[in-house]
Each structure stands twice: as C-alpha cells, then as structure tokens.
Amino acid sequence: MSGRFIAFEGGEGAGKSTQAQLLAEALRARGLEVDVTREPGGTAGAEAIRTLLLDPPGTGWGAQAEALLFAAARADHVARRIKPALASGTWVICDRFVDSSRAYQGGAGKLGDDAITSLHKFGSGGLRPDLTILLEVDEARLARRLAARDGTQSDAIGGRSEEYHRSVADAFRSLASHEPDQFAVVDGNGEPNDVHTRILGAIAGLLKERN
Ligand code: TYD
C-alpha cells in the first residue's frame, strides 16, 4: 500500500518543523516508515534553489520568477523524493508544500491561485497531500517566537512587511475554509506536546484508513 502524504503549513514561527518531527516520531512508534522533508528543498537541486530564493543575488526576484523557482524546486522534490517514497509505502511529512506557494506567491504576492495551480500541474502533476495541517498561532505569540528565533536575521521572504505576512495568513485561512476536506486547521498555541495531541486527532482518519 502506498504511503500517506501530510504537509504542514502556516506562517513563520508557527511551529511546523517541531510538529513535523513530533508527528514523525509518533508514526514511527506505530511501525510506519516516515520521511520528513521540507520546502523549498528536500533534494540537492531543490536545496540549491532554496539558497537562491532565501538569499537572492542582486536585487532579488520578481514575483513571476520567484513563483517559477518555487515550482521548479517542488518539481524536483516531488519527482525524486516524495513520489518514490510514497510508492514504496513510506509516509511523507513535508514542512510546507504547494499551499505555501498559493498563500505567499498567489495570495500575498498577488499572482492569483490559477497561476500557482497551473505551475503545480505542469511541474508536479498537481500532486496534493492527503492532508494539509494548517497551524494557526496568535500574532503576538508568533512575533515573540520569531524575535527569539531569527532576531534581525530573517531571510528574503521572512523579512517582508507585516502587511505581506498578514496577507499570507488571510490567504491560508481562505484556502482552508474553501477546501475543508484538504485542510485540518489546528490551534498552534500552547505547549508543543499539547499541539502534537491536537495533530494526532487531526490525522486519526488517515491512520484508520490504513487499518
Ligand atoms: P523556512 O525557513 O523554511 O520557513 P519558516 O520561516 O516557516 O521556518 O523558509 C521558507 C520561506 O519561504 C518562508 O518565508 C516561506 C517561503 N515560501 C514561499 O514563499 N513559497 C513557498 O512555496 C514555500 C515552500 C515557502
């Protein structure tokens, strides 16, 4: 049986990486093979594109070039890592996936959802996760976490205006409300273990399908 594909989404500092690791441990404890990966990145080529995106040369990328680079990184990641893993029965947990492009480039970057989904169709055959977990964290808590994590050292996208990041958050909420079967919105406030318990609740259906 093929593996399941779970993506974590949300703004910067929402706790996606921590929760991806906690979920992987919980699934491995149930005897599953799990591959934890991230975007942009996850393969040698996609990690090289990540550097171009987060630490861009010269004056940086225009909106279209940026969206194409994310889609190119994703195409390599899907073809060389995600699809083979799923085909071999491995569960894949990805820290960000195409819904980040929809929220950042499509929403906040104003390219629109059709452009991003077309690129995704061309680059990655339109692959969707079985479930996208959207972690929602209060703005004040996010600001504290980010100050502790990044200080003044945020990357080219993380360092964009508050307005841009608010627009990303609105776009994520709108995607989740229009696609309730695709998204599980999980309250990311509180202790990591409490958030983890909520996530286990959200993926219970996927585990059951397997049995
Ligand atoms: P990263 O450090 O991995 O994210 P986080 O700050 O959540 O830990 O940086 C990835 C950055 O790239 C982040 O600002 C979100 C952005 N991004 C996009 O704009 N579009 C995308 O499709 C993806 C995958 C990420």
CB of 37 sitting under 6 A from ligand 1: no
Residue nearest atom 8 of ligand 1, based on CA coordinates:
12
Q: What is the structure's pLDDT at 147?
A: 78
User: What is the extent of the structural domain holding 97?
Assistant: 5-210
Mean pLDDT of 148-175: 89
**CATH number assigned to the domain comprising residue 163:** 3.40.50.300
The atom number, within ligand 1, closest to the CA of 97 reads 24
Helix (H, G, I), strand (E, B) or coil at 198: helix
Q: Which of 11, 7, 3, 5 is CA-nearest to residue 145? A: 11
The alpha carbon of 193 and the centre of ligand 1 are apart by a number of angstroms equal to 24
180 prior amide bond cis, ω within 30: no
166-191 residues labelled b (16+ CB within 10 A) or e (exposed): ebbbebbeebbeeeeebbbbbebeee
What does the pLDDT look like over 35-69, one tens digit per residue?
Answer: 999 999 999 999 999 999 999 999 999 999 999 99
Residue 31 DSSP symbol? T
What does the pLDDT look like over 102-150, one tens digit per residue?
Answer: 999 999 999 999 999 999 999 999 999 999 999 999 887 777 777 787 7
The alpha carbon of 95 and the centre of ligand 1 are apart by a number of angstroms equal to 9
CB of 40 sitting under 6 A from ligand 1: yes
Tokens of 112: 């629109």
Position with higher pLDDT, 209 vs 163: 163
Query: Taking the alpha carbons of 182, 186, 192, 196 in that order, is the dihedral positive or negative?
Result: negative
Share above pLDDT 90 across residues of the chain, in percent, rounded to a whole number? 86
Tokens of 210: 């397997």
The Cα–Cα gap between 35 and 145 comes to 26
**pLDDT band at 211, cuts 50/70/90?**
low
CB of 8 sitting under 6 A from ligand 1: no
User: In this structure, which amino acid lies at residue 140?
Assistant: A
Q: What is the structure's pLDDT at 197?
A: 98
The Cα–Cα gap between 175 and 63 comes to 20
Q: pTM for the full model?
A: 0.95
The atom number, within ligand 1, closest to the CA of 95 reads 3
The atom number, within ligand 1, closest to the CA of 14 reads 7
Q: What is the structure's pLDDT at 209?
A: 78
Q: If you search the block for the tokens 């841009």, which residue do you land on?
A: 164
- CA angle 52/68/84 to nearest 5° reads 90
Residue nearest atom 19 of ligand 1, based on CA coordinates:
104
The domain tally of the chain equals: 1
CB of 99 sitting under 6 A from ligand 1: no
- Determine which helix (DSSP H) or strand (DSSP E) holds 187, and give its type and residue range: strand 183-187
Mean pLDDT of 18-35: 98
The alpha carbon of 184 and the centre of ligand 1 are apart by a number of angstroms equal to 19
